[in-house]
Structure 1
Amino acid sequence: MASSSSKLTLKLLIDSKREKVLFAKASKAIVDFFFNLLCLPIGTVIRILNKNQMVGSLANLYESVENLDETYMQPDQNKDLLLKPSASMSSKISGLLPSVNDSSSNNFVNVFYRCQSHYSRVTCDNNTRCPDCNRPMNSQMIFIGEKVANEISAEKNGFVKGVVTYMVMDDLAIQPMSSISSITLLNKFNVKEVGTLQETVVELDMNQGVNLLKASLESKTVLTNVFLNNHMHCSRAI
């Protein structure tokens, strides 16, 4: 996770003539952030972005669960499993997304109960009765999954290795960077005038993290959409 003293940055290569980000040079921390988007439950994404900002129909599904009376839910189920799912521990890697977990949903997810006679039956609700013997399933179990996830996250320190710089395309395709790949891309984009290229460094904050998440669900030109209309911290022509 990035500390407050070490801000995350992206170095954008921009075609100023076409007003388009060709690609960005990114560190391991940035790539970890992008890869971590794949770990976020849909319910968490909706809470981060707010229902009003969601495209498509997922927000309607979310609101349907919100409005559904608890009497229609199975007795061993809780709406918070859908509305407030527990995000992967890796969601805390970069600090570029707000935390949407709360204590009530965490307690619900992390506490399990079993039948005293049939150990293979597990529930989240201690009022549930065992389908085998009809006895209350109220014997609490110790859940260690979150601790294990913390240890794994600390050991691996994200998803990718930090020995190289990575190339992030405008559509978020990512690969290790090399001089050959850069030249190949310039040819692919049919760049004829090197003078039209501009290299710009942008600092990332939580607002931009949320904007990147939102744009990744809506667009094939994520970097262009998020950064080209924003204030650039420093820039220089190549």
Structure 2
Amino acid sequence: MATPKVTLKLLINKKTNKVLFAEAGKDFVDFLFTLLSFPLGTVIKLLSKNRMVGCLGNLYQSIEELGDAFFQPKIGKATVLNPKIPFRPSEGGFVKGVITYMVMDNLEVKPMSTISSITMLNKFNVQEVGALEEKVIELGMDEGLNLLKASLQSQTVLTNVFLGA
């Protein structure tokens, strides 16, 4: 069974090979907001120790290898390794679906409008509209995990994940 994909439109400055911002719908914004609700143990488990930044993967592995006798009787290592996600939105998700959102390269989320798009172009000092390129991408499980990892390491997440910069 194929995993669901989320579509995202990137506005790229071809001269600098940077994502200026992405045009995103509810599905992508809900995905981003869900990342903040994950307990750290879940994040490490999702990324696996091979993809984990720093030494948290080592900490996770040491807990896996530690015998049950070292944990409090009613706690156990499963409490740390497989934490319960404290908040799961109902079927409605986090944000309203009738709005298009602007997601910046650093994952800042704003409602999108024509005026906000023009303001962003001015902010990035875009002189030539011909230097801009629209790229439609599909985000699946692998891209989602890469996005999670990049968000822990970088301020240019969309550029790093989708342009390989």
Fold-level similarity (TM above 0.5): yes
The answer to whether structure 1 residue 163 and structure 2 residue 98 are counterparts is yes
Count residues in correspondence: 164
1:100-155 superposed Cα distances (whole Å, 9 cap, x missing partner): xxxxxxxxxxxxxxxxxxxxxxxxxxxxxxxxxxxxxxxxxxxxxxxxxxxx612x
90, 110, 124: which one pairs with 1:153? Answer: 90
Larger radius of gyration: 1
Return 5+ residue gaps in structure 1 as ranges: 91-151, 231-238
User: Which amino acid in the other structure matches residue 39 of structure 2?
Assistant: P
Compared CA separation, residues 50 and 179, structure 1 to 2 (3 A):
same
* Equivalent residue number for residue 50 of structure 1: 48
How far apart, in 2, do the equivalents of 1:183 and 1:54 lie? 37
The answer to whether structure 1 residue 191 and structure 2 residue 148 are counterparts is no
Q: So what's the TM-score if we normalise by structure 2?
A: 0.92
Compared CA separation, residues 15 and 88, structure 1 to 2 (3 A):
same
Q: Secondary structure at the match of 1:201?
A: strand
1:79-114 superposed Cα distances (whole Å, 9 cap, x missing partner): 000011123574xxxxxxxxxxxxxxxxxxxxxxxx
Q: CA deviation at 1:14?
A: 0.1
Output aligned runs, 1:1-238, within 5 Å: 7-87=5-85, 90=88, 153-154=90-91, 157-229=92-164
Compared CA separation, residues 6 and 49, structure 1 to 2 (3 A):
closer
CA RMSD of aligned residues (A): 1.9
Compared CA separation, residues 37 and 164, structure 1 to 2 (3 A):
same
User: Which amino acid in the other structure matches residue 67 of structure 2?
Assistant: D
Compared CA separation, residues 7 and 68, structure 1 to 2 (3 A):
closer
1:51-90 superposed Cα distances (whole Å, 9 cap, x missing partner): 1211122122212212222222112211000011123574
Q: CA deviation at 1:32?
A: 0.2
User: Which amino acid in the other structure matches residue 107 of structure 2?
Assistant: L
Return 5+ residue gaps in structure 2 as ranges: none
Q: Secondary structure at the match of 1:218?
A: coil
How far apart, in 2, do the equivalents of 1:203 and 1:25 lie? 12
User: Which amino acid in the other structure matches residue 63 of structure 2?
Assistant: V
* Equivalent residue number for residue 96 of structure 1: none
The answer to whether the Cα contact below 8 Å between 2:22 and 2:104 also exists between their aligned partners in 1 is yes
Q: So what's the TM-score if we normalise by structure 1?
A: 0.65
How far apart, in 1, do the equivalents of 2:47 and 2:104 lie? 23
How far apart, in 2, do the equivalents of 1:31 and 1:76 lie? 37
Higher RCO, Cα 8 Å, sep 6+: 2
The answer to whether the Cα contact below 8 Å between 2:21 and 2:102 also exists between their aligned partners in 1 is yes
The answer to whether the Cα contact below 8 Å between 2:105 and 2:157 also exists between their aligned partners in 1 is yes
How far apart, in 2, do the equivalents of 1:198 and 1:18 lie? 11
